[in-house]
Amino acid sequence: MALSNGCSCKIGPSILNADLSSLASECQRLMDSGSDYLHLDVMDGHFVPNLTFGHPIVKCLRPKMPGVFFEMHMMVENPERWVEPMADAGANMYTFHYEATSDPVSCIRKIKEAGMKVGLGINPPTDVEVVLPYVDMVDLILVMTVNPGFGGQAFIADCLPKVKYLRDRYKQLDIEVDGGVGPKTIQQCAEVGANVIVSGSALVKHENPRKAIIDMRSIVDEYIQKSQLER
Ligand SMILES: O=C(CO)[C@@H](O)[C@H](O)COP(=O)(O)O
Ligand SMILES: [Fe+2]
């Protein structure tokens, strides 16, 4: 199962700011509201100054959500270390950070060997050019629009030229944005070419998440169609 190959909009809720004592029902609520996949944020207290959960939770969640695409956003040092446990737990995609490893190629290889899709992320201070050698090896590039570590932070619009830089060069690439994304910031993300949208607190706390997802999707789809007509 792939996400979308740059051709359509995919929306994945981040459940960091949900009631984690009801993780499965919160995930189900957001999937029932029209989400395409789940974006599960793993933090190790080293790469980022916060802790969340690891593969044992993913393993428990998997049988409750059969068929749902799990993207693991691995905000961890030495991401190589958790590839096999996450694959065994039922993860579909393993998105690691460029900043977290000295050997992205071997991490990519390991993720593929474990049967998962590969995402490669960059933090706000990181130049977008660093991902260029790896674009053809991965399924998705994640451009962080907050400094990773916490849900509910303010969107950093200065990161968006990185999305445009990638979209101008790679029409079919899945480009994901994550951090402070919601109905108020989606337009800016869509117009630079983001097509895979993580939305955390804006969706989790929305009184009508179904409507929020429909509205965000229609804005992203509009820009995708416009860019296809311009080709
Ligand atoms: O990876 C992260 C934060 O490090 C994100 O996935 C956020 O958790 C998204 O939440 P909002 O910024 O949308 O509230
Ligand atoms: Fe995330």
Residue 58, both tokens: 């993913």
Question: Does 19 count as an annotated binding residue?
Answer: no
Catalytic residue among 36, 44, 174, 178: 178
Question: Does the CB atom of residue 148 touch ligand 1 within 6 A?
Answer: yes
Question: Does 152 count as an annotated binding residue?
Answer: yes
Neighbouring-strand partners of residue 178: 144
Amino acid at 174: D
Residue nearest atom 4 of ligand 1, based on CA coordinates:
148
How far is it, in rounded angstroms, from Cα 180 to Cα 227? 24
158 is catalytic: no
Burial of 106 (0-12, 13-18, 19+ CB in 10 A): exposed
DSSP string, 4-59: -TTSS-EEEEB-TTS-GGGHHHHHHHHHHTT-S-EEEEEEBSSSSS-B---HHHHH
Q: What is the CA radius of gyration of the chain?
A: 16
Interface ipTM: 0.99
pTM for the model stands at 0.97
Question: Does 54 count as an annotated binding residue?
Answer: no
Q: Which atom of ligand 1 is nearest to the CA of 200?
A: 13
Confidence (pLDDT) at 1: 45
Ordered per-residue pLDDT tens for the chain, 231 residues? 467 777 899 999 999 989 999 999 999 999 999 999 999 999 999 999 999 999 999 999 999 999 999 999 999 999 999 999 999 999 999 999 999 999 999 999 999 999 999 999 999 999 999 999 999 999 999 999 999 999 999 999 999 999 999 999 999 999 999 999 999 999 999 999 999 999 999 999 999 999 999 999 999 999 999 988 887
Distance 145 CA to ligand 2 centre (A): 10
How far is it, in rounded angstroms, from Cα 179 to Cα 156? 8
How far is it, in rounded angstroms, from Cα 58 to Cα 62? 6
- What is the number of the ligand closest to the CA of 16? 1
Distance 229 CA to ligand 1 centre (A): 32
How far is it, in rounded angstroms, from Cα 4 to Cα 221? 12
41 is catalytic: yes
